[in-house]
Amino acid sequence: MNGVAARTRARELDRQRRWSVVRHVVARAAVYAVAAGAALVCAAPFLWGLVTAFVHDRGGPGASGGPIRTGRAPTAEHVRFLFRSTPFPAFVVNTLIVGSLVAVVTLALALPAAYALARLNRSWGTPARMAILLVYLVPPSLLFLSFSRIVATLGLADSFWALVLVYPTVTVPVSVWLLTGFLKAVPVDIEEQAMVDGHSRLGAFARVVAPLVFPGVVAVVVLAFTLSAGEFAYALTFVWSNARMPVSTGMPARLGNGDPLLWQSMQGGAVFVAVPLAMAANLFLDRFVAGVTPHR
């Protein structure tokens, strides 16, 4: 090779090498910047809520000065107020009861349905899976008016049993979709082995398959909880007594009058509800992604 040409090329490559180091550093920095920025923006209202839940009340709306009066130690007064003097604990209990019951109903309906769609090869399997998922797209806001009539007819008006009855229409379709993904990931061999060993199809399902999709089951429980805690339209329409409301409608309803003391307490309440739900979801995020991924 020509010596001069080789040296020129070597210099050019050196330049490229330095340039790619710079690009790498910039890319890493961008990842960290976006991650930090996203975390901050996503948490912003809750962070602010958390701060204000522990600062002293400034003495009524309209007072001048910054949003927080500095120089005073944090106070637990608002949090105490929240748990002692507001219906917040009742809201939380209602939400927990509704969430648990909905999770149970969802599993009872969705697990067998998902199994039928994943395993028992019927020609209508795929269309049925699609149809069930599409039900998820029917919004509560389209149905709540007629539901309020149905609920009244059934004598469930102003009772959280109405929510237990109706919420699975939201949770079952997604859960069927998710569990079908999980079940398809369980090798058929394992189940056939159980059947060769003398179990019926049903026995094989209960004894071998169900334990293997346990992570999927837990993911569905988390999802059912999150969806039913977050639902708004039905809860607003069916339940109007304070003592029976879940968190999602109870808190906004109590805040209708703009008492800042109550507001500050409620910010603490929002964080109190938000963080456990996010923790549960975070634990199962990878499983969730795995369940959503199409199996090719």
Least Å distance between CB 112 and other proteins?
4
**Please, which contacts does 187-193 make with residues 24 or more away whose CB atoms are closer than 8 Å?**
188/119, 191/119
With b for 16 or more beta-carbon neighbours within 10 A and e for fewer, the 36-70 pattern comes to eeeeeeebeebeebbebbbbebbeeeeeeeeeeee
Residue type, 18: R
For residue 277, state whether it binds other proteins (rule: CB under 8 A): yes
Tokens 């309906």 correspond to what residue? Answer: 109
Q: Site for other proteins (CB under 8 A): which residue of 22, 25, 76, 142?
A: 142
Q: In the numeric block, which tokens belong to residue 40?
A: 């901050």
For residue 168, state whether it binds other proteins (rule: CB under 8 A): yes
For residue 161, state whether it binds other proteins (rule: CB under 8 A): no
Q: Site for other proteins (CB under 8 A): which residue of 145, 154, 188, 243?
A: 145
Residue type, 162: A
For residue 86, state whether it binds other proteins (rule: CB under 8 A): no
| Cα gap 7→237, rounded to integer Å | 78
Binding residue count for other proteins, defined by CB under 8 A: 116
48 versus 214: smaller Cβ distance to other proteins: 48
Q: Evaluate whether 174 touches 136 at the Cβ level (below 8 Å).
A: yes
For residue 150, state whether it binds other proteins (rule: CB under 8 A): yes
Binding segment (CB under 8 A) for other proteins, from list 70-78, 80-88, 103-111, 184-192: 103-111
16 versus 193: smaller Cβ distance to other proteins: 16
For residue 280, state whether it binds other proteins (rule: CB under 8 A): yes
Least Å distance between CB 34 and other proteins?
5
Of residues 191 through 210, those in contact with other proteins by CB under 8 A are 200-203
| Cα gap 250→92, rounded to integer Å | 9
User: Among the residues of 119-167, which ranges form H helices?
Assistant: 125-135, 140-153, 160-166
Of residues 50 through 79, those in contact with other proteins by CB under 8 A are 52, 58, 61-63, 66-68
Of residues 26 through 45, those in contact with other proteins by CB under 8 A are 28, 31-32, 34-36, 38-45
Q: Site for other proteins (CB under 8 A): which residue of 2, 120, 189, 196?
A: 120
Least Å distance between CB 97 and other proteins?
15
CB-side exposure of 7: number of CA atoms within 13 Å? 2
Least Å distance between CB 119 and other proteins?
9
Binding segment (CB under 8 A) for other proteins, from list 81-89, 139-147, 156-164, 183-191: 139-147
| Cα gap 208→165, rounded to integer Å | 30
For residue 224, state whether it binds other proteins (rule: CB under 8 A): no
Q: Evaluate whether 274 touches 293 at the Cβ level (below 8 Å).
A: no
| Cα gap 103→227, rounded to integer Å | 10
| Cα gap 46→253, rounded to integer Å | 19
